């Protein structure tokens, strides 16, 4: 347990590899929204992408205390990008992005025709979620097991990965105190910096892995297209499209992620 800013309790898990190279940097795995507990529901906290990035930097500075490779998924990826853009190599040595989000919510993506069509609906949903009774009713329905299962089936290409254990992993944080406030804050809050604006300032080694069946951050969307184009523009970037993989590659098809991630870590950082 780490106490962030003296008031927010953040759980973290430490795992070590006995045979790792002594010069290998630590890896910090940063999950996406809803994937764990205390990080996403401290009471009274207003969620922003900049706040998440600062949490990562403070954790590296106060707990890890070594230059670290950040590995993030979804908004966790974006938080890692922001952290890397605001840090030096004394804290962040490398980045691995798994289906990086374009913002904390869909209001960040202004140049995708699919989102443009949904803008009136998104603003209407924001309005509804600011009415506490309505927000509570929506949230209660959304965290039901069958609803969560259907959402997960829509974002996982490998349907066998969507089992009762996964449903409970996602459902558990939604039952914690402050979960409703966290949900409303994230959906209605400012989307935060766009990764497209931040990447030119990042020169550390970067591995991008992208599931090609992701409905949330599709490869043919503006963010996916941008990261695909980096391969020919920046020498520090490696990109692999993972076929038949959804929004959470590390859990959807972990063997495909390991196939690309582990050799890259070995080659770049002597793992």
Mean pLDDT, all residues of the chain: 88
The whole-number pLDDT of residue 40 equals 33
3-class DSSP state of 168: helix
Cβ atoms of residues 222 and 109 within 8 Å: yes
C-alpha distances in angstroms, 64 versus 6, 27, 30, 110, 142? 17, 10, 14, 36, 36
Q: In this predicted model, what pLDDT tens digit does every residue of 104-149 receive, in sequence order?
A: 877 666 566 666 666 677 778 888 888 999 999 999 999 999 999 9
For 149, phi and psi rounded to 5 degrees? -60, -45
Sequence ranges of the domains in the chain: 2-114+192-269
Q: In this predicted model, what pLDDT tens digit does every residue of 34-75 receive, in sequence order?
A: 665 333 346 567 788 999 999 999 999 999 999 999 999 999
The whole-number pLDDT of residue 108 equals 65
Q: Which CATH class is domain 2-114+192-269?
A: alpha beta
């Amino acid at each position: 347990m780490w106490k962030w800013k003296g008031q927010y309790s953040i759980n973290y898990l430490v795992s070590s590899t006995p045979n790792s190279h002594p010069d290998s940097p630590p890896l910090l795995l940063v999950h996406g929204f809803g994937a764990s507990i205390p990080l996403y529901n401290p009471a009274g906290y207003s969620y922003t992408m900049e706040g998440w990035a600062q949490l990562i930097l403070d954790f590296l500075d106060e707990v890890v205390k070594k230059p670290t490779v950040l590995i993030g998924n979804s908004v966790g990826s974006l938080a890692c990008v922001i952290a890397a853009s605001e840090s030096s190599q004394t804290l962040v040595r490398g980045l691995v992005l798994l289906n990086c989000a374009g913002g904390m919510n869909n209001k960040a993506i202004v140049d995708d025709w699919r989102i443009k069509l949904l803008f009136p609906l998104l603003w209407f949903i924001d309005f509804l979620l600011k009415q506490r009774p309505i927000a509570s009713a929506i949230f209660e329905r959304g965290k039901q097991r069958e609803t969560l299962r259907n959402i997960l089936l829509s974002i996982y290409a490998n349907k066998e990965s969507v089992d009762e254990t996964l449903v409970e992993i996602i459902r558990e944080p939604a039952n914690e105190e402050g979960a409703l406030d966290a949900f409303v804050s994230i959906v209605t809050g400012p989307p935060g910096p766009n990764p497209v604006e931040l990447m030119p300032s990042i020169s550390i080694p970067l591995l991008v892995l992208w599931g090609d069946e992701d409905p949330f951050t599709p490869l043919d969307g503006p963010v996916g297209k941008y990261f695909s184009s980096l391969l020919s523009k920046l020498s520090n970037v490696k990109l692999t499209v993972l076929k038949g993989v959804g929004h959470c590659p590390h859990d959807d098809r972990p063997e495909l992620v390991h196939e690309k991630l582990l050799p890259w870590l070995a080659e770049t950082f002597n793992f």
